[in-house]
Amino acid sequence: MGRKILLENSDIPNIKSFDVFRAHGGYVSVEKALKTMAPDEIIEEVKKSGLRGRGGAGFPTGLKWTFLDRKSNKPRYLVCNGDESEPGTFKDRYLMEKLPHLLIEGMICSSFALGVNTAYIYIRGEFKYLLGILNQAINEAYKNGFLGKNILGTNFSLDMYVHPGAGAYICGEETALLESLEGNRGNPRIKPPFPAVVGLYDCPTVVNNVETLANVGYIVNFGGDAYASIGLGKSTGTKLISACGNINNPGVYEIELGMSVEDFIYKEEFCGGIKDKLELKAVVPGGSSVPIVPKELILFTASGEKRLMTYESLAEGGFESGTMLGSGGFIVYDQNACIVRNTWNFSRFYHHESCGQCSPCREGTGWMEKILWRIEHGHGNMKDIDLLISIADKIEGNTICPLGDAAAWPVASAIRHFREDFIFHVQYPEIVKNIKHGALYKYDNQD
Amino acid sequence: MMLKITIDNQTIEVEEGTTILQAARKIGGSVVPPAMCWYSKLEGSGGKCRTCLVKVSEGSAKDPRPLPKLVASCRTPVVDGMVVQNKTSPEVLEARKAIVEFLLINHPLDCPVCDQAGECDLQDLSYDNGKVSCRYQESRREFEVIDIGNLIKLHMNRCILCYRCVYVADQIAGKRVHGILYRGDVSEISTYIKNSIDHNFSGNVIDVCPVGALTDKTFRFKNRVWFLKPMTAHRDCPTCSGKVIAWMRGSEIYRITGRKDEFGEVEEFICNECRFEKKNINDWIVEGPTTLKRHSVISQNHYKEIKTPSIINPLKEKMEKQTNDE
Amino acid sequence: MSGQKINHILHQKQNIPICFSEAILQKVHKIIAHYPEGKQKSALLPILHIAQEELGGYLNVDVMDYIADLLKIQPIEVYEVATFYSQYYLDKVGKYVIEVCRTGPCAICGGEDIQEYLEGKLHIKDGETTADGLFTLKTVECLGACGFAPVMQINTEFYEHLTPAKIDIILEDLRLNATNDKHSDKTWAEKYS
Over its length of 447 residues, how does chain A's per-residue pLDDT go in tens digits? 578 999 999 999 999 999 999 999 999 999 999 999 999 999 999 999 999 999 988 999 999 999 999 999 999 999 999 999 999 999 999 999 999 999 999 999 999 999 999 999 999 999 999 999 999 999 999 999 999 999 999 999 999 999 999 999 999 999 999 999 999 999 999 999 999 999 999 999 999 999 999 999 999 999 999 999 999 999 999 999 999 999 999 999 999 999 999 999 999 999 999 999 999 999 999 999 999 999 999 999 999 999 999 999 999 999 999 999 999 999 999 999 999 999 999 999 999 999 999 999 999 999 999 999 999 999 999 999 999 999 999 999 999 999 999 999 999 999 999 999 999 999 999 988 887 776 554 444 443
- Cα(C155)–Cα(A126) distance, integer angstroms: 10
Last residue of a domain, one of A281, A307, A334: A334
Residue C89: inside a domain, yes or no?
no
Residue C53 CA to its chain's centroid (Å): 8
Same domain, A221 and A330: no
| A268 and A349 fall within a common domain | no
Question: How far is Cα A438 from Cα C108, in angstroms, rounded to an integer?
Answer: 6
My answer on whether A163 and A66 are in the same domain is yes
Where do runs of H (alpha helix) occur along B162-299?
164-171, 204-208, 272
C11 phi and psi angles, rounded to 5 deg: -90, 165
Are B258 and B267 in contact by the 8 Å Cβ rule? The answer is yes
Q: Are C46 and A164 in contact (CB < 8 Å)?
A: yes
CB of B21 within 8 Å of a chain A CB? The answer is no
Cα Dmax for chain B: 61
pLDDT single digits (tens) C26-83: 999 999 999 999 999 999 999 999 999 999 999 999 999 999 999 999 999 999 999 9
The answer to whether residues C175 and C127 belong to one domain is: yes
- Closest CB to B142: pick one of C6, C12, C74: C6
Which residues of chain C have a CB within 8 Å of the CB of B168? none
Q: CATH no. for residue A372?
A: 1.20.1440.230
Q: Note the ipTM here.
A: 0.94
Q: Which residues pair with B10 in a beta bridge?
A: B7
For residue C158, is it within any domain? Answer: yes
What integer pLDDT is reported at residue B295 of this predicted model?
Answer: 63
Q: What is the pLDDT of residue B296?
A: 64
Question: Are B183 and C84 in contact (CB < 8 Å)?
Answer: yes
Tally the domains of chain A: 3
Determine, for residues A128 and C163 on separate chains, whether the beta-carbon distance falls below 8 Å. no
Hey, CA dihedral for B50, B52, B55, B58, is it positive or negative? negative
Largest distance between two CA atoms of chain C: 52
In chain B, which ranges are continuous DSSP H helix?
Answer: 20-27, 90-105, 121-129, 164-171, 204-208, 272, 312-325
A401, A297: one domain: no
Cβ pair C102:A345 closer than 8 A: yes
Residue range B310-315: average pLDDT?
52
C-alpha B107/C-alpha B95 separation (Å) is: 19
- Calculate what percentage of chain C has a pLDDT beyond 90: 81
Q: Test A90 with C146 for CB contact under 8 angstroms.
A: yes
Residue finishing a domain among A334, A365, A396 = A334
The tens digit of pLDDT for each residue in B271-304 reads 999 999 999 999 999 998 887 776 666 665 544 4
Whole-angstrom distance, CA of residue A164 vs CA of residue A166: 7
Bridge pairing between strands A280-284 and B82-85:
unpaired
Q: Which of A204-208, B97-101, B313-317, C152-156 has the lowest mean pLDDT?
A: B313-317
Give the torsion sign (CA, A276, C149, A364, B59): negative
**Has residue C88 been placed in a domain?**
no
- A93·C145 Cβ contact <8 A: yes
Assess whether C108 and C172 both reside in one domain.
Answer: yes
Whether cis (ω within 30° of 0) applies to the bond prior to A193 is yes
Residue at C39 is within a domain? yes
Question: Which residue, A135, A175, A131, is CA-closest to C156?
Answer: A131
Calpha distance B217→B153 (Å, rounded): 6
Question: What pLDDT score does C26 carry?
Answer: 95
User: Which residues on C lie below 8 Å from A345 (Cβ)?
Assistant: 102-104, 107
Q: Is C15 on the interface with B (CB under 8 A)?
A: no
Of the candidates A45, A36, A39, the one whose C-alpha atom is nearest the C-alpha of residue A216 is A45
Q: Count helices and strands (H / E) in chain B.
A: 7, 13
Neighbours of C25 (CB within 10 A): 12
pLDDT at A368: 97
Q: CB within 8 A of C70, min separation 6: which ones?
A: C28, C47
State whether A78 and A143 are in the same domain. Answer: yes
Contact A398 B70 (CB under 8 A): yes
Compute the distance between CA of residue A68 and CA of residue C144 in angstroms, rounded to an integer: 30
C9 near B CB under 8 A? yes
Mean of the per-residue pLDDT values of chain B: 90
Instruction: Give Rg (Cα) of chain A.
Output: 22
**Residue A189 CA to chain centroid, in angstroms?**
20
Q: Examine the domain organization and report whether A36 and A157 are in the same domain.
A: yes
CA nearest C115 in A: which residue? A438
State which residue of chain B sits closest to A349, comparing Cα positions: B184
Is the CB of C164 less than 8 angstroms away from the CB of A135?
Answer: no
Q: Which residues contact B121 (CB under 8 A, 6 or more apart)?
A: B34, B36, B210, B211, B264
Position B12: which residue type? Answer: I
Residues A362 and A402 in one domain: yes
Q: How far is C14 from chain A (nearest CA, A)?
A: 25
CA closest to B194 among chain C residues: C10
Q: Domain range spanning residue A137?
A: 18-228
The CATH number covering residue A318 comes to 3.10.20.600
Q: Are residues C72 and C102 in the same domain?
A: no
Distance CA C156, CA A92 (A): 18
**A206 neighbors A196 (Cβ within 8 angstroms):** yes
Q: Is B144 in Cβ contact with C5 (below 8 Å)?
A: yes
From A352, A360, A387, residue closest to B184, measured CB to CB: A352
Of A351, A352, A363, the CB nearest to B106: A363
Phi, psi values for residue B255, rounded to 5°:
-160, 160
Whether C117 is in a domain gets the answer yes
pLDDT for residue B318 is more than 70: no
**Contact flag C112-A85 (C-beta cutoff 8 Å):** no
Where is A164: in which H helix or E strand? Answer: strand A159-164
Is B144 close to C76, i.e. CB distance below 8 A? no
Neighbors of chain B with 3 or more C-beta pairs under 8 Å? A, C
Separation of alpha carbons C33 and A74, rounded Å: 19
- Which helix (H) or strand (E) is B57 found in, with range? strand B53-58
Whether residues A104 and A134 share a domain: the answer is: yes
Chain B contact probe: residue of C13, C69, C79, C141 with most B CBs at under 10 A:
C79
Residue A211 neighbours by CB under 8 Å, 6+ apart: A6, A54, A55, A91, A92, A95, A239, A240
C91 at B interface, C-beta within 8 A? no
Which residue out of B21, B38, B74, B101 would a mutagenesis test of the A interface target, given it has the greatest number of A Cβ atoms within 10 Å?
Answer: B101
Q: How far is A355 from chain C (nearest CA, A)?
A: 8
Read off the pLDDT of residues B144-175 as tens digits, 9 standing for 90 and up.
Answer: 999 999 999 999 999 999 999 999 999 998 78
In a domain, C121, yes or no: yes
Closest chain A C-alpha to B274 CA, distance in angstroms: 33
Whether A4 is in a domain gets the answer no
pLDDT category at B133 given cuts 50, 70, 90 is: confident
Backbone torsions φ then ψ of B154, nearest 5 degrees: -105, 125
pLDDT of B302 = 43
Alpha-carbon radius of gyration of chain B: 20
Amino acid at the residue A51: L
Cβ contacts of A360 within 8 Å, gap of 6 or more: A394, A395, A398, A399, A404, B50, B98, B99, B102
Q: Is residue C87 part of a domain?
A: no
Note whether A159 and A148 are within 8 A (CB): yes
- Give strand ranges (E) for A225-337: 231-232, 235-236, 238-245, 251-256, 280-284, 293-294, 329-334
Residue A124 exposure: Cα atoms within 13 Å on the Cβ side: 29
List of chain B residues whose C-beta atoms are within 8 Å of the C-beta of residue C75: 177, 192-193
Minimal Cβ distance to C84: which of A131, A186, A348: A186
> In this structure, are strands B53-58 and A293-294 parallel, antiparallel, or unpaired?
unpaired
| List of residues 6+ apart from B245 with CB closer than 8 A | B230, B231, B232, B233, B256, B257, B258, B259, B260, B290
In angstroms, the separation between the Cα of residue C39 and the nearest Cα of chain A is 7
Q: Where among C25, C50, C82 does a domain terminate? A: C82
Indicate whether A2 belongs to any domain.
Answer: no
Q: For position A445, what pLDDT does the model report?
A: 40
Strand order from edge to edge, sheet including A238-245: A251-256, A238-245, A329-334, A280-284, A293-294
Residue A12 resides in a domain = no
Q: C54 and C122 share a domain?
A: no
Is A354–B185 a contact, with Cβ atoms under 8 angstroms apart? yes
| Cα–Cα dist B214/A211, whole Å | 47
Residue of A131, A180, A346 lying closest to C191 (CB–CB): A131
Q: In the complex, which subunits touch A with 3 or more CB pairs below 8 angstroms?
A: B, C
Closest Cα in chain C to B145: C9
Q: Domain limits at C151?
A: 96-180
- Measured distance between the N- and C-terminal CA atoms of chain C, rounded to whole angstroms: 45
Q: Which of C31, C58, C82 is the last residue of a domain?
A: C82
Residue B309 has pLDDT above 50, yes or no: no
Do residue A151 and residue A203 come from a single domain? yes
Nearest to B184 among A356, A371, A394 (CB): A356
Out of C2, C8, C76, the one facing B179 most closely (by C-beta) is C76
Candidates A342, A340, A322, A344; CA nearest to A332 is A342
- State how far the Cα of C88 lies from the Cα of C52, in Å rounded to an integer: 7
Residues A139 and A258 reside in one and the same domain: no
Range list of H helices, chain C: 22-32, 44-54, 61-71, 75-84, 104-108, 111-122, 164-177, 188-191
Task: Verify that A116 and A194 share a domain, yes or no.
Answer: yes
Tell whether C185 is covered by a domain: no
Q: Are B183 and A356 an interchain contact pair (Cβ–Cβ within 8 Å)?
A: yes
* pLDDT the model gives residue C6: 85
Model confidence at B306: pLDDT above 80: no
pLDDT value at residue C182 = 59
Please count the other Cβ atoms lying within 10 Å of the Cβ belonging to residue C169: 11
Count of C-beta atoms within a 10 Å radius of residue A31 = 15
Supply the CATH number for residue C118's domain: 3.40.30.10
Residues A224 and A239 in one domain: no
Between the CA of residue B66 and those of A57, B15, B57, C96, what are the distances in Å?
21, 22, 4, 54
Q: Which residues of B touch A358 (CB under 8 A)?
A: 47-50
Q: Which residues in A lie closer than 8 A to residue B103 (C-beta atoms)?
A: 359, 363
Please tell me what DSSP assigns to residue A60.
B
The reported pLDDT for the residue numbered C1 is 43
DSSP string, C132-162: TS-EEEEEES--S-GGG-S-EEETTEEE-S-
Please give the average per-residue pLDDT across C156-184, as a whole number. 86
Residues B183, C83: C-beta atoms closer than 8 Å:
yes
